[in-house]
Amino acid sequence: MDDEPWDDDLEPRTPLDRRESWLVAQDLDDLQAFEQVFAGDGTRGVSLWCHDCEEEHYYPWDLLRGSLETLLETGDVPVHEPAFAPDPDEYVPWEYARGYVDALRDVGAEQRLDVGTCARCGYALDGELRLASFCPRCGSPLLRERLVEALTQAGLGPELRSEVLRRAGLPG
C-alpha cells in the first residue's frame, strides 16, 4: 500500500501533444524576445489577464520561463505564489509586448546593439542595462551610441560617422 495520501482533485497529467508543445515552445521564444527588448529599461516581467479569476497576473521573467519550461517537460504547471503587491508599471502586458516585438521585427530592428557607456554622463552600463533605451543615471537617450556602434560595424571611419550623425541632427 502506498504511504502517500491520494488527493482526488489531483489527476496525473499527460504529456503535451506535439501542437501544445510547439505552442509552449513559441511562448518561450516570445518571452525571450520580450525580455531582450524590455528588461534593459527596468521592466521586471510580463502581465497576463486571467480569464478564470478575471484579474491581471504579474510574472517576473525567470518565474514565467521556469513555469513554461516545466509545462513543456512535464505537461503540468508548478504552483507558485502570486507577486505580492506588484507595481503594474514594472510589467509589460503580454499582448502589448507581442505587438511591439512584432513591429520591431517588421522593420528589422528587433536586435538592439549593446551600449557600454552613456556618452552624456559617462555611466557604465552593465548587464541588461546595456540594452536600455535611456541612461538610468541621467535619462539621456542611448540611440546615438547605438547608431555610432552600427556605423562602426558597417566600416565607417570616425570622420564619416561624425558627418552621418550631424546630418541626422545628432551631435557628431
Distance between the two ends of the chain, CA-based, in angstroms?
Answer: 78
Is pLDDT of 79 > 80? no
Contact partners, residue 151, CB within 8 Å, separation at least 6:
160, 161, 164, 165
- The pair phi, psi for residue 30, each rounded to 5°, is -60, -45
Residue 8 one-letter amino acid = D
pLDDT confidence of residue 128: 73
Average pLDDT value over all residues in the chain = 83
> Mind listing the pLDDT tens digit for each residue in 8-44?
455 556 788 899 999 999 999 999 989 988 887 789 9
pLDDT interval class at 92 (50, 70, 90): very high
